[in-house]
Amino acid sequence: MLETTQRLVLTPDSVRERDREFAAAALPLMPHVKRYALSLTRNEADADDIVQETYLRAHRYWSTFHDGTDCRKWLLTICRNAFTTNVHREERSIAVEDDELESLAAARTHNAARVAGVDDIYAQLDLGPAIRAAIDKLDTVFRDVVVLSDIEGFSYEEIAETLGIPMGTVRSRLFRARRHLQEALMVYALDAGFGRVQGAPRKSTAEATNNG
């Protein structure tokens, strides 16, 4: 017991050393934390508050961070928790379809895009702004998983742990979110005039963009 107590007492030097390690590892990642915080809050001032809270918590719990693991993902997980705590959000429970059916729906979306003549939009159009807008419009439960997976590169397991939901729910929400995004982008492309009018040749990319 005495030995344990002694181990927990940090000298000023060891505190400084620990804090330097924290600063060197965590502070350079602040732009990533800010980007993720913005995806949660969609508001600059709230995002800054969440980033600050994230770093205060990260500093407090730095001893629990395992050296050699991904510090960025650790910070983003804390950020997500800080957001949830601060906002006291109530997650709506949304029934989701079987995730295999969502994969089938992805093929149907592709077929619909083919029929509409917008199946090569990813090669032909700069969809960056439209994709970001479509992600912003997603319901929170879907936006959460698609941002962590397809923007931040979390695995299914890491998302399940971060959000505290089962893996099956991660998959269902992620695949559903992707379908919503694909459908939104198809609508965007059609609205931009990048479709095939029956019996007429499709507009060129330049024409579609100019009209968009």
Partner 1 sequence: MDSRRSECEAIVRRLWPYLDDKLPETDRERVTRHLEECDDCVSHFDYARAFLDAVHAARPPANPDDALRARVLTALSDHGLAI
Measured between alpha carbons, how far is 81 from 85 in angstroms, rounded to an integer?
Answer: 6
Residue 27 found at the interface with partner 1 (CB under 8 A): yes
Interaction between residue 137 and partner 1 (CB under 8 A): no
Residue 119: CB partners within 8 Å, gap ≥ 6? 110, 113
Residue 64 burial by Cβ neighbours in a 10 Å radius (0-12, 13-18, 19+): exposed
Q: Binder to partner 1 among 80, 171, 180, 203 (CB under 8 A)? A: 171
**What is the closest distance, in whole angstroms, from the C-beta atom of residue 101 to partner 1 in the complex?**
8
Q: C-alpha angle 115/117/123, rounded to 5°?
A: 130
Which window, 74-82, 85-93, 107-115, 196-204, contacts partner 1 (CB under 8 A)? Answer: 107-115
C-beta separation of 146 from 138 below 8 A: yes
Out of 19, 91, 97, 207, the only residue in the binding site for partner 1 (CB under 8 A) is 19
Within residues 138-167, the interface with partner 1 by CB under 8 A covers 146, 149-151, 155-156
What totals of helices (H) and strands (E) does the chain contain, helices first?
A: 12, 0
Token look-up 């007429």 returns 200
Q: Which of 56, 87, 94, 115 binds partner 1 (CB under 8 A)?
A: 56
In angstroms, the Cα distances linking 139 to 92, 126, 180 are 9, 24, 10
Q: How near is the Cβ of 5 to partner 1 at its closest, in Å?
A: 20
Interacting residues with partner 1 (CB under 8 A): 12, 15-16, 19-20, 22-23, 27, 30-32, 34-35, 38, 48, 51-52, 55-56, 59-60, 99-104, 106-107, 110, 113, 119, 122-123, 127-129, 131-132, 135, 146, 149-151, 155-156, 171, 174-175, 178, 181-182, 185
